[in-house]
Amino acid sequence: MSLCLLQAQLKPSADIDWLDITTEGALLLLGLSWLVLVLSARPGGRVTQLLLIGLLGYSLGCYMDLLDEFFINDSLPSWFNLMEKLPTPIGLVTLTFGLWLWREEQTTINEQLRTREQFYRQHQLVDHLTQLCDARAMRHQLEQHLAQPHAIALIMIDLDNFTQINHQRGFTQGDQLLTNVAQMLASQLRSQDLVCRYAGDRFVIMLSQCSQVFAEAMAQELVNAITPLGCQASQAICFTANNNAQPSLNAEQLIEQVNQNLEQVKQAQRWPKAG
Per-residue pLDDT of 56-75, as tens digits, reads: 998 888 888 887 777 666 66
The yes-or-no verdict on residue 217 having pLDDT over 60 is yes
| 3-state class (DSSP) for residue 190 | coil
What confidence score (pLDDT) does residue 248 get? 64
What confidence score (pLDDT) does residue 246 get? 55
Domain ranges, ordered by start, for the chain? 2-103, 125-270
State which amino acid sits at residue 40.
S
> What's the average model confidence in pLDDT over 90-107?
88
Beta-carbon contacts of residue 29 (< 8 Å; ≥ 6 apart) = none
Sequence-ordered alpha helix ranges (H) in 87-237:
87-123, 135-146, 162-169, 171-188, 212-226
More confident residue, 38 or 79: 38
Highest mean pLDDT among 50-64, 106-120, 151-165: 151-165
> What's the average model confidence in pLDDT over 6-23?
76
Phi, psi of 247 (to 5 degrees): -55, 135
pTM: 0.59
What is the pLDDT confidence band of residue 221, given thresholds at 50, 70 and 90? very high
SS (H, E, C) 113-150: HHHHHHHHHHHCCECCCCCCEEHHHHHHHHHHHHCCCC
Name the residue among 115, 232, 108, 236 with its Cα closest to residue 177.
232
Phi, psi of 167 (to 5 degrees): -70, -40
Mean pLDDT (the chain, rounded): 83
> What's the average model confidence in pLDDT over 93-97?
92
What confidence score (pLDDT) does residue 196 get? 92
What confidence score (pLDDT) does residue 274 get? 43
Highest mean pLDDT among 6-10, 143-147, 166-170: 166-170
What confidence score (pLDDT) does residue 8 get? 63
Share of the chain above pLDDT 90, in %: 35
Superfamily of structural domain 125-270: Reverse transcriptase/Diguanylate cyclase domain (3.30.70.270)
